Amino acid sequence: MAENKVVAPELLNADDKTTYDAIVVGAGVIGPCVATALARKGKKVLIVERDWSYPDRIVGELMQPGGIRALRSLGMVQSINNIEAWPVTGYTVIYNGEEVDIPYPYKADSPAVEKLKDIVKDGNDKVLEDSTIHIKDFEYDERERGAAFVHGRFLDNLRKIVAKESNITRLQGNVVEIMKDDKNEVYGAKVDIDGRGKVVFKAHLTFVCDGIFSHFRKELHPDHVPKVNSSFVGMALYNTNMPAPMHGHVILGTNHMPIIVYQLSPEETRILCAYNSPKIPSDIKSWMVKDVQPYIPKKLRPSFDAALAEGKFKSMPNSYLPARANDILGLCVIGDALNMRHPLTGGGMTVGLNDVVLLMKKIGDIDFADRETVLDEILDFNYEKRSYGAVINTLSIALYSLFAADSPNLKVLQKGCFKYFQRGGDCVYTPIRFLSGVLPKPFVLARVFFSVAFYAIWINIQEKGIAGFLEGFSILLTAIKVFTPYMYNELLA
């Protein structure tokens, strides 16, 4: 609970005598979208957040086009307005100083955005005009667009949308327990509220949306815990001269870990530097000087050097967690609480928001008092969501393995991947459709990934002759190990 802050009375007075249709635990990105969609469907919703004040985080700052499309379907795309959000039109990959530009795909190659009944209305699926988001670009340009933003500003907008819904009661408090009966069925949540103590609230359906550090994901199963194998160290750069304006940048090299750079606003840019351990360096500044600074492109160096001298670092763990079936009556875990992937590809919000869209299509019009029917539809949701998540989640792990190449075979695959992109045409167009969240086809992803692997092997043979041919078998085995277990986990486990 936040200390020494004045809390608005309406955030403390939720009625504990009411049985709500839904309790939503967490008001990060996914919670407000779940709550708003349900409220527009006529459901009575209680949303509980530990602290409704402005958050300061370095997660959830870049939204792929698939996420923007989901916000449109949920009638919440105007949450990117009036926060100086920066349009994103594609990626630039830099490998040992060479560059490849990869623009986002054409809108015409994807199905039309679905407008969810009762949820999309009064033009809330269209962006507004502001100082950085322009209607002509987002609504009428032939290509998809993403957006990057200061996370706290975006979250603040989502929470303002929540506050306008008459069917939603907001509550500030710390959820201390998901309430279950002797049949292991969930009937609500216990909340520790400042001035009221621990209070039990009841609902037909309880949504756990408490994010990457979820306290309650283990309610599905005690073993439902993420694996953390690496980290990102981040800094804010200011007034940066970007190599490719309105592009996310992935900086790769034979001798360093991946570096991600994307602009958040007219003044601010985020840089994330990968570190191949869950524990960040004890002396971050020395590590940055030695292992990051030499590989920063010249255009970025002035702002990078200024930020390095200031020494304001933030870090985040890179977690992986395949989804588990929501099979407990009265409970639905969603978002990063359910499922996480490597943040390299910026796919977390996109997966979570598309899950919300699918879930609303499955249960939005059901009476939540009919808990058995709701559970049946959530079990169907568990199955139907797999293809979308499998593509983005598996891609994130596979690309990180290649981009952070820490073995000779992975370095061959890393180089081959870049050379594959350099071919242009479909060799960049199909991969960017996966990355941007508009091509949820796992087996097409598998075909493309192994096309990259075989091309890398061919490049290696051209350079090394018979030695490269002999190495090919080992390289292919490495590619199989990088890709196959994760795709299996996402689709079948």
Long-range CB contacts (< 8 A, 24+ apart) of 448-453? 449/398, 449/479, 449/483, 450/479, 450/483, 451/420, 452/413, 452/416, 452/417, 452/420, 453/413, 453/416, 453/479
pLDDT at 88 over 70: yes
The verdict on residue 463 lying in a domain is yes
- pLDDT of the residue at 2: 43
Domain boundary pick from 268, 296, 319 = 319
Answer yes or no: is pLDDT of 73 > 50. Answer: yes
pLDDT single digits (tens) 374-388: 999 999 999 999 999
pLDDT at 493: 61
* Gyration radius (Cα) of the chain, Å: 23
Report yes or no on 170 lying in a domain.
Answer: no
Q: Is residue 17 assigned to a domain?
A: no
Whether pLDDT at 54 is above 90:
no
Last residue of a domain, one of 286, 319, 352: 319
Q: Say what the pLDDT of residue 215 is.
A: 96
**Average pLDDT of the segment spanning 156-175:** 98
Instruction: Please check whether residues 397 and 484 belong to one and the same domain.
Output: yes
CA 391 to chain CA centroid, Å, is: 13
Q: Are residues 485 and 402 in the same domain?
A: yes
d(CA 320, CA 41): 33
Looking at residue 42, its pLDDT comes to 98
pLDDT at residue 175 in the model = 98
List, for residues 180-213, the tens digit of each pLDDT value. 999 999 999 999 999 999 999 999 999 999 999 9
In sequence order, which residues have a C-beta less than 8 Å from that of residue 214 and are 6 or more positions away? 208, 333, 336, 337
Percent of the chain scoring above 90 in pLDDT: 96
Closest CA to 103 of 440, 374, 405, 424: 424
Q: Are residues 408 and 315 in the same domain?
A: no
Query: 71, 352 in Cβ contact below 8 A?
Result: no
Q: What does the block give as tokens for 11? A: 């955030």
Q: Is residue 456 situated within a structural domain?
A: yes
Q: Which domain holds residue 270?
A: 227-319
Tell me: do 302 and 396 sit in the same domain: no
Whether 327 is covered by a domain: the verdict is: no
Binned at pLDDT 50, 70 and 90, residue 129 comes out as: very high
Instruction: Provide the pLDDT for residue 4.
Output: 59
Say if pTM beats, i.e. exceeds, 0.85.
yes
Q: Which of 318, 436, 423, 450 shows the shortest CA–CA distance to 388?
A: 436
| 238, 243, 245, 247: CA torsion to nearest 10 | -100
Question: Within a domain: residue 26?
Answer: no
The answer to whether residue 293 sits within a structural domain is yes
What's the number of domains the chain is made of?
Answer: 2
Sign of the torsion formed by the C-alpha atoms of 384, 389, 391 and 394: negative
How far is residue 13's CA from residue 327's CA, in Å, rounded to a whole number?
32
Structure confidence by residue, pLDDT tens digits, 228-286: 999 999 999 999 999 999 999 999 999 999 999 999 999 999 999 999 999 999 999 99
Contact present, 285 and 181 (Cβ < 8 Å): no
Which of 319, 352, 371 marks a domain boundary? Answer: 319
* Residue 358 reports pLDDT greater than 70: yes
Please check whether residues 394 and 487 belong to one and the same domain.
yes
The three-class DSSP label of residue 68 is: helix
In a domain, 53, yes or no: no
CB 342 within 8 A of CB 318: yes
